[in-house]
Every structure is written in structure tokens, then in C-alpha cells.
Chains A and B, each alone.
Chain A
């Protein structure tokens, strides 16, 4: 039971990594990161069920709050970059590199 839930979590996390490293649309990359956060949440809740403590639920709540903060900031940056460049390609946004 626990193993199958963790397998789902690993599968979703791997799909998220593939989305991040192989797509160039900035929205798809962003939602793939959200998918990876969700896979981590599923692993937290599964381990919480295994040990019958609720600390994993609290961690999942905190991860959701961090995801909300990340969504607000990342979308603001995307709006700003779209205003400047008029494109959604992550290769065009490489002006952020150091």
C-alpha cells in the first residue's frame, strides 16, 4: 500500500523533471515545477500515514503556502519579461543569468 503511493509520487516527480528539462515554454516549465512540489507533498502525506503522525500533513501545508508565494512572484516576473521581450521562450529569458 505504502509502496504503491510512493511509486505514484516518484512517477509524477520524474514527469515533472522531464517537463522542466525538455520544454521551452515558460508556463509549462513553471507548472512542471508545481507538479514536482505536488509529488513531494504526496510523499509527505504517505509517510505521515505510515507512521500515523500528522507532522507530514503540516509539512504539506507549508509546501502549499510556499507554492502559492512562488506562483505569485513567478507570474509577476513572467508578466514583466513578456512586456519587455514579447515572447514566452525560456531561451530568450537567459538575460537573467549571472
Chain B
């Protein structure tokens, strides 16, 4: 199956990028690796026939948010000597993996009990802009408005925090 091959490809790319994010020492390498993960996850959304989420993942996440993070990393001009010393990094990573592994195994056991929808063809227009928009503005109107207030608050907060001129020293 073509879709299965694409799924395996996107999964391998996503997991490799995520591992790179955790393993790279410099945050710039980690951010580049994370962008690869985000693009592969957009492919997974497309395989799940979520067209709007696919586009928004590429435009907003991989485009806007990650370029903001990359901009800040370059703005701070981080050199090798500015990075925190992490000699026992791999020891901590292996320890963290050992701690997290039981949770992951438990969740894997949980999802084994779910019924699987095997390759059913979705309804007409599943995940398109019009259908998702109708649900968003009919049934999820209040959360949508609350999110708009949250964005306004974070905008004002970011301006107040980062753009503060120090009058009193």
C-alpha cells in the first residue's frame, strides 16, 4: 500500500527529528531538527485527511512559531561557550528514558484495546475549511473567543516584558 509506505516514511522522519532535538547540544541544530519533525507531522495529518490542519501546521507551526524561535536564538547570538555545560547529558537522557518507558508501555497497552477503523473512506469534505469552520463557529464559539482574549493578553505581556525601558536602576 502506498499510504502505508508514506506513513512509515513520515514516522521515521518525525521520530528522528525529535531525537535530534533532544540530542543536539546547540539549540539552533535542535530547532532545525524540530522543523523537520513538524513538516513530517504535517504529512501525517494529510494522511489522516485533515486538510485544514495540514495547511495550518505548515503555515503557522513550521512557518510562524518556529521562525520566531529561530529569530530569538539568532538574536541572542549564542556561542558555544554560552551554552550550559552538560557533561552527564547522555547519562541523564538514558535515565529519563528509563523513567518514561513504563508510562509509554502502559499507554501502548491502553491503545491496543481501541477499535480500529480500517481504511474506511471518509465522508465528503472531511476536514475541509468550510466544514471545520462551521463546527468552529457553531459549537466551539466560546472557546474560540476565549482563545482570542488569550492571544491579546500574551501580546500585551510580551510587549511589556521584552520591551521594557529601565527608568529606575
A interface residues, Cβ below 8 angstroms from B: 1-8, 10-12, 14-19, 21-25, 27-28, 30-32, 34-35, 38, 41-42, 45-46, 48-50, 52, 54-55, 57-58, 60-62, 64-73, 75-80, 82, 86-92
- With A38-B61, A54-B135 given, is the CB distance from A28 to B73 under 8 Å? no
| CB-based contact A22/B93 at 8 Å | yes
Closest Cβ–Cβ distance, residue A93 to chain B (whole Å): 10
- Type the 1/0 row for B45-65, where 1 means its CB is closer than 8 Å to any CB of A: 100111011001100110011
- Interface residue from B24, B72, B86, B104 paired with A11 (Cβ < 8 Å): B104
Contact B61 A67 (CB under 8 A): yes
Q: Quick check: B27 and A2 within 8 Å, CB to CB?
A: no
Is the Cβ of B161 less than 8 Å from the Cβ of A88? no
Contact B84 A89 (CB under 8 A): yes
**Shortest Cβ distance from A88 into chain B, in angstroms?**
6
Chain B positions within 8 Å of A, measured between CB atoms, are 7, 11, 14-15, 18-19, 21-22, 24-25, 27, 30-31, 34, 37-38, 41, 44-45, 48-50, 52-53, 56-57, 60-61, 64-65, 68-69, 72-73, 75-76, 78, 82-84, 86, 89, 92-93, 95-97, 99-101, 103-104, 107-108, 111-112, 114-120, 122-123, 126-127, 131-132, 135-136, 139-140, 143-144, 147, 150-151, 153-155, 157-158, 161-162, 164
Determine if B155 and A32 form an interchain contact, defined as CB atoms under 8 angstroms apart: no
Query: Cβ of A34 and Cβ of B65 under 8 Å apart?
Result: yes
Query: Main SS of chain B's interface residues?
Result: helix
Contact A68 B69 (CB under 8 A): no
**Subset of 25 A-B contacts with CB under 8 Å:** A1-B116, A8-B11, A10-B111, A11-B104, A18-B93, A21-B96, A23-B22, A27-B31, A30-B69, A31-B30, A41-B57, A42-B44, A52-B117, A61-B52, A61-B56, A61-B136, A67-B61, A67-B65, A68-B60, A71-B65, A77-B161, A79-B72, A79-B161, A86-B82, A88-B84
The interface residues of chain B lying within 8 Å CB-to-CB of A58 are 132, 135-136, 139-140
Contact residues in B for A48 (Cβ distance below 8 Å)? 48, 50
Partner of A49, one of B31, B50, B112: B50
B56 touches A54 (CB 8 A): no
A52, A67, A69, A90 interface centre (most CB from chain B within 10 Å): A69
The closest CB in chain B to the CB of A70 belongs to B154
Contact of A75 among B68, B86, B96, B122 (CB under 8 A): B68
Given contacts A11-B15, A45-B53, A58-B140, are A52 and B126 in contact (CB under 8 A)? yes
